[in-house]
Amino acid sequence: MGKPDTVQADARRFLDERGTSASLAPNGLNPAMIMEKAVKDRIVDSYFYKEQCFAVNEADIIDRVVEHVSYVGGTGGATQKPSPFLCLAFKLLELAPNDEILGEYLSRGGEHFKYLRALACFYLRLTRPAKEVYETLEPFLEDRRKLRRKGRAGTSLTYMDEFVDDLLTKDRVCATSLWKMPKRETLEDLEILEPRVSPLGDLDDILESDDEEQNNDAERDEEERPPNPRKWMWMKRSDRGRGVGRLEYLSSAIRPTSRAEDTLAFSKSNTVVTLPATRHLTHLIQG
């Protein structure tokens, strides 16, 4: 009589052995030690993990994501219950899918199911070396699809590119401490990575062109602007004997229509004064 087929709880064995029987992740880390112990214990004891993540393979992960993952997040609530997203990420650490399967998660599967792509990006950030992380995740900075994000502050709206940017720049995402990855500038200086070309082009060129457009628009508006009749004009007394002063216009935009509008009566002072001139100066000041 042959030995009956049995299925052992691979999660408990995975934790008891502390990953010693499994191969290391491509970045050299032990997959069983990537997440904190408190988080791992909550995941293994959670109802979702026991029911939905037992004896599943890489293909079943897609079904679980489509059916149960509706937001990205770590732990939440009064009991710090782990999210389905985090439970499936821990399951991927156990399964250790190869690069070909991850490519399917990110590309064809990710085009149809955005949370599958988010899960694959999160797992890849945990287990891959820095060069592969930058080269694989940076193209998804152009993914503008919306994601729900749940944390201690509640549920909020985010985007795929923002989530990927957090994976590249922050030290903790979804209740998980990310391994310290060197900055992109450092890898560029070491000639490990090529300088990243932004889809928007060179930022300096963009700012320079914007300044030129603003200057051209300002000059064009100044040329097209109609003459302002309310300008400050210098006026002085030209006929002191009669106590009548004539306006000497310094702007050709304002032309008086009659002598009465072109003259003002001043006081006997010889002070040069400044007044706002209008097109129709009809009031006379008696000297």
233-252 pLDDT, tens digit per residue, is 444 444 444 444 444 444 44
Q: Any residues with CB less than 8 A from the CB of 142 and at least 6 apart, and which?
A: 161, 199
47-68 pLDDT, tens digit per residue, is 999 999 888 999 999 999 999 9
- Residue 249: the pLDDT is 44
The mean-pLDDT minimum among 3-12, 184-193, 213-222 falls in 3-12
Q: Any residues with CB less than 8 A from the CB of 56 and at least 6 apart, and which?
A: 64, 91
159 strand-pairing partners: 146
86-143 pLDDT, tens digit per residue, is 999 999 998 989 999 999 999 877 788 999 999 999 999 999 999 999 999 999 999 9
178: three-class secondary structure by DSSP: coil
Neighbouring CB atoms inside 10 A of 280's CB total: 10
**How much is the mean pLDDT over the chain?**
76
- Residue 241: the pLDDT is 47
pLDDT band, very low/low/confident/very high, at 9 (cuts 50, 70, 90): low
Give whole-number Cα distances, 138 to 141, 169, 170, 249, in Å.
5, 12, 15, 65
pLDDT band, very low/low/confident/very high, at 256 (cuts 50, 70, 90): very low
